[in-house]
Amino acid sequence: MMEGINALVFSTADNPFYKLSVSKYAPECVVLDADGTVLAIINRTNKKDDVLQLTYGDDFRDPDLKINDDKKIRIALSAVKKPGISIFLLIRELDTTGKPVKDSDFDRAWFRISNEETNQTLDYSLISKVDKPEDYQPTFVKEGDEEGTAHPNPLTYLHGRIYLDESNNWAFESLKKVFQQKDQPNLVQTLSTLYGKTMEEVSE
């Protein structure tokens, strides 16, 4: 999948055919070393890593294109040299509480991986087609809180990971998992711990 590709783009679109006034989804990349160490997190608040050459961008829609993305992270594959490094591809759900939107506004929302040079889509998913947890509710009450105290329960979609294997070839693993805030308040730490443990077991 990655042969001959110099840079990937991981992107989201609230609606790929026209720009909505309110945004609901944003990409995030978490780069983990083989031992689970977090090397970089790229998202709306941390937009660039010069060493690993990941860059976050938005507000770049081209009116001449039929299909557009709203937000993207550019990933320069050549900047990663060490086998075992993985880049986990997350989509964060943003809070739209009190904003002028309807759930149906985002029926066409998607996330995708594409070749930066050709804009060819390599893998994508419609967010509406990814199953949510059975017990999902948009708010939740934390244990120990007073009755009636509700907290936002945003979802985080784990699209998959790209990784550099022992032969120095890039590969993609599709995961398409969904996590809710109440169950995974620190998802990055969970991924870090699980990945480090898994890689340790593989190397034994």
pLDDT at 61 over 90: no
Mean pLDDT of all residues in 38-50: 97
Question: What tokens does 121 get?
Answer: 């889509």
pLDDT of 140:
86
Residue 198 backbone dihedrals phi, psi, to 5 degrees: -65, -45
Distance CA 29, CA 47 (A): 10
Distance CA 28, CA 111 (A): 11
Quote the DSSP letter at residue 94.
P
Contacts of 127 (CB under 8 A, 6+ apart): 25, 91, 106, 109, 110, 111, 157
pLDDT of 150:
83
The tally of CA atoms less than 13 A away on the side-chain side of residue 132 is 13
Residue range 123-181, pLDDT digits in tens:
999 999 999 999 999 988 887 676 667 889 999 999 999 999 989 999 999 999 999 99
Domains, the chain, with CATH or none: 7-203 (2.60.60.30)
Which of 41-50, 127-136, 164-173, 192-201 is modeled with the greatest confidence? Answer: 41-50
Q: What angle do CA 34, 121, 63 make, to 5 degrees?
A: 125
